[in-house]
Amino acid sequence: MNKEIEILVVEDSLTQAEQLKFILEKKDYKVKVVNDGLQALEYIGKSMPDLVITDILMQKMDGYELCQEIKEDDKLKHIPVILLTSLSDPIDVIKGLKVKADNFITKPYNEHFLVSRIQHMLINIELRKNRISEIGIEVFFAGEKHFINSERIQIIDLLLSTFDNAVQKTKELEDTNNELKKAFETIGRLERNYRAILESNTDALLVINDNKEILYLNPAAKKLLGKNYEELIISILDFEQIKKGVKEVTINYEEGNQVIGEMCISDTDWEGKEAYLLSIRDITEKVHLREKLRIQSITDELTTLYNRRGFLSLVEHKVNFAKRNKKGMLLFFVDVDDMKCINDTLSHNHGDCALVGVSDILRDTFKENDVIARIGGDEFAILSMDVSERDVEKFVNKLLNNQKEYNDKSNYPFNISMSVGAAYFDPENPMSIGELMARADRLMYKNKNCKGRAEDYNS
């Protein structure tokens, strides 16, 4: 049935015109689209469409002018005209009446409502073909007088369409309000859940702004930071340049206690304003354990001196420092004599006691900031900083004296004897760590085979 009805769409927006055409053709209406009022009049004069749907705001000729041209032409005035409008101004209704428009449809329109209005209007026009009466009346509206000479049926239809549009808009507003209400309820529920998560989190959580003000802190934060939380937060944060990401911070309490925290900083929105979310986790035990494991990894368990790994790691840093600052260093290699004999003839426990005794002698001989290590079974290495090549004799003599004193006081059934080799690191003619260690090791074995004088330990 609808295929027999032709609708002319007058719309200068190609997108909206195609949208309207698509909606109407889905309902099997025959649709013609033109983009201004002059083209519409030309087409109407030739084709006599059953219905005209026109936008109001157009160039050359607007929708009101087009409607007036149609209604003032005796051959065309029977064609119903629907005006597409936003109805943003009450005067739009008066303008529509003055040009004898048949109906209003507000933009943006609902597809179902649009089709329903067109169907109702076409049916009413068919029913009213033989009920035409002319009236004229002058009205005062919006500060002006207006003469309305539309047909009575047209006035009724237009006013009904205006009311119908108002009902539709009211329904849409109610639907929107209901959706907003549900959205606000959802937001409120999410906010309550978010707060509950913050409150129950075992990590200390704080929200701060750029003015160093604490906007929120959860119970875990109050427990971790105590009553002076504001001062503590300021002390661990660089507010001039807050760095995002994760870092370790140290929290110092007035009582002298200390907590190490893992702090994560991220951007957040708090009550509609930009802020920072701070998460602080107490990792004191973790850090202490990590440090303990690190120390264990570089420490000889028996003597508590550095092991080979710890020694090589520290020596690398010391060599780089000596190069930069033109400082001399001495590397001593010490081997315990007759260690196998002590283990085999006495016991390995006595052997361990001998190694501990050597470590005590070395500690008494060298400076506190020297690096002393057990690098093998019965081999020790010492790196002495900021010394000259002439200091070799002094250290060796002191070592031998300390060795003699230890043996004199010892109650063990053995005497400790050590062979020593020394290599000098010359900052003006530096050598690699490997070369330094090889030289000291070679000299140590040379002196082990022929116990030389002190002044021969580095030559």
Judge whether residue 165 has pLDDT over 80: no
Instruction: Average the pLDDT over each of 17-21, 147-151, 181-185, 376-380 and give the range with the smallest value.
Output: 147-151
Element housing 201 (H / E): none
Judge whether residue 452 has pLDDT over 60: no
Show the DSSP H helices in 54-109 as ranges. Answer: 63-71, 91-98
Q: How confident is the model at residue 453 (pLDDT cuts 50, 70, 90)?
A: very low
Residue 75: exposed, middle, or buried by beta-carbon count in 10 A (0-12, 13-18, 19+)? exposed
Q: How confident is the model at residue 159 (pLDDT cuts 50, 70, 90)?
A: low
* β-bridge mates for residue 247, sequence order: 263
Instruction: For residue 447, give both structure tokens.
Output: 């002196």
Ramachandran region, residue 441 (left: φ > 0; alpha: ψ -120 to 50; beta: rest): alpha
In this prediction, residue 141 carries a pLDDT of 42
Choose between 241 and 386: higher pLDDT: 386
* β-bridge mates for residue 262, sequence order: 248, 281
Q: With contact defined as beta carbons under 8 Å apart, do 224 and 278 qualify?
A: no
Judge whether residue 118 has pLDDT over 80: yes
Element housing 217 (H / E): strand 214-217
Q: How confident is the model at residue 285 (pLDDT cuts 50, 70, 90)?
A: very high
Instruction: For residue 253, give both structure tokens.
Output: 């309490």
Tell which CATH architecture fits domain 298-456: 2-Layer Sandwich (3.30)
In this prediction, residue 120 carries a pLDDT of 77
Domain topology for 204-286: Beta-Lactamase (3.30.450)
Q: How confident is the model at residue 186 (pLDDT cuts 50, 70, 90)?
A: confident
- List pLDDT tens digits, range 66-105: 999 999 998 998 899 999 877 666 677 778 888 888 888 8
Integer Cα distance of 173 and 179 in angstroms: 10
Q: With contact defined as beta carbons under 8 Å apart, do 80 and 53 qualify?
A: no
In this prediction, residue 150 carries a pLDDT of 60
Nearest to 440 by CA among 335, 299, 364: 335
- List pLDDT tens digits, range 398-443: 999 999 999 999 999 999 999 999 999 988 888 888 898 899 999 9
CATH 3.30.70.270 domain locations along the chain: 298-456
Integer Cα distance of 350 and 234 in angstroms: 57
In this prediction, residue 1 carries a pLDDT of 55
Instruction: Average the pLDDT over each of 111-115, 153-157, 178-182, 440-444 and give the range with the smallest value.
Output: 153-157
- List pLDDT tens digits, range 13-31: 899 999 999 999 998 999 9
- List pLDDT tens digits, range 238-248: 544 456 678 88
CATH 3.40.50.2300 domain locations along the chain: 2-172
Mean pLDDT of 213-225: 84
Residue 430 has a CB neighbour count (10 Å cut-off) of 14
The number of C-alpha atoms within 13 Å of 372 and in the hemisphere containing its C-beta is 18
Superfamily of segment(s) 2-172 = Response regulator (3.40.50.2300)
Q: What is the mean pLDDT of the chain?
A: 83
In this prediction, residue 222 carries a pLDDT of 83
Integer Cα distance of 458 and 423 in angstroms: 6
Judge whether residue 6 has pLDDT over 90: yes
Judge whether residue 454 has pLDDT over 50: no
- List pLDDT tens digits, range 230-268: 666 766 665 444 566 788 888 787 777 888 888 888 888
CATH 3.30.450.20 domain locations along the chain: 204-286
Instruction: For residue 440, give both structure tokens.
Output: 């000291």
Q: With contact defined as beta carbons under 8 Å apart, do 11 and 17 qualify?
A: yes
Locus of tokens 């119970």: 219
In this prediction, residue 146 carries a pLDDT of 55
Residues 6+ apart with CB under 8 A from 359: 303, 304, 305, 372, 374, 380
